[in-house]
């Protein structure tokens, strides 16, 4: 019985680590990596500069998903997700001004999220005291199938849509 339990635990751990590695080297990671360090610009939506929702809108557009340019509007999209159930690609929302949702980022795994902050596009930890005390909610905008279609394989651009991006 102990051997069976050990094998099952080992398989479960392998599955957990394998699922987590699905997102490594994804198109999502590639798009975000290319934007790290881009400056913060109020109302910015281009690689010349982003605000928080302009950044998320730009990244999702690169993945073939259209979302509006406002963190409050983005917070109404998709399905609510518990913080303990976050997966790469989920949107995370914060109250940074005391008036409700005012900041958004993209969860990238390992307790971290990418966002356009005052010092530019960066990766921060949800556990940082500033963000931990201001965290409000998360939304899953992409279904797992959509994520796999657009974000899993960075070399898979075979949608036949003739993208002009």
The yes-or-no verdict on residue 141 having pLDDT over 70 is yes
Q: Which residue among 27, 62, 112, 115 is the active-site one? A: 115
Write down the CATH number for the domain with range 23-151: 3.90.1720.10
pLDDT of residue 71: 96
The yes-or-no verdict on residue 6 having pLDDT over 70 is no
Q: Which residue among 52, 59, 63, 75 is the active-site one? A: 52
Active site residue 69: no
pLDDT of residue 12: 36
Separation of alpha carbons 90 and 139, rounded Å: 6
pLDDT tens profile 48-97: 999 999 999 999 999 889 999 999 999 999 999 999 999 999 999 999 99
Separation of alpha carbons 45 and 62, rounded Å: 12
Mean pLDDT, the chain, integer: 81
pLDDT of residue 152: 52
Active site residue 52: yes
Angstrom CA distances, 3 to 7, 11, 13, 125, stand at: 6, 12, 15, 38
Delimit the domains of the chain by residue range. Answer: 23-151
pTM: 0.77
pLDDT of residue 120: 97
């Amino acid at each position: 019985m102990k051997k069976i339990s050990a094998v099952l635990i080992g398989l479960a751990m392998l599955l957990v680590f394998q699922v987590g590695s699905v997102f490594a080297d994804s198109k999502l990671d590639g798009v975000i990596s290319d934007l790290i360090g881009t400056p913060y610009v109020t109302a910015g939506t281009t690689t010349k500069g982003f605000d928080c929702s302009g950044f998320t809108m730009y990244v999702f557009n690169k993945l073939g998903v259209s979302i509006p340019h406002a963190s409050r509007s983005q917070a109404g999209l998709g399905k609510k997700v518990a913080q303990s159930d976050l997966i790469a690609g989920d949107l995370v929302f914060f109250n940074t001004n005391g008036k409700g949702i005012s900041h958004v980022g993209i969860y990238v795994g390992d307790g971290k999220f990418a966002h356009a902050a005052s010092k530019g596009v960066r990766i921060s930890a949800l556990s940082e005291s500033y963000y931990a005390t201001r965290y409000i909610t998360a939304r899953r905008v992409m279904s797992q199938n959509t994520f796999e279609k657009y974000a899993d394989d960075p070399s898979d651009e075979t949608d036949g849509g003739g993208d002009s991006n």
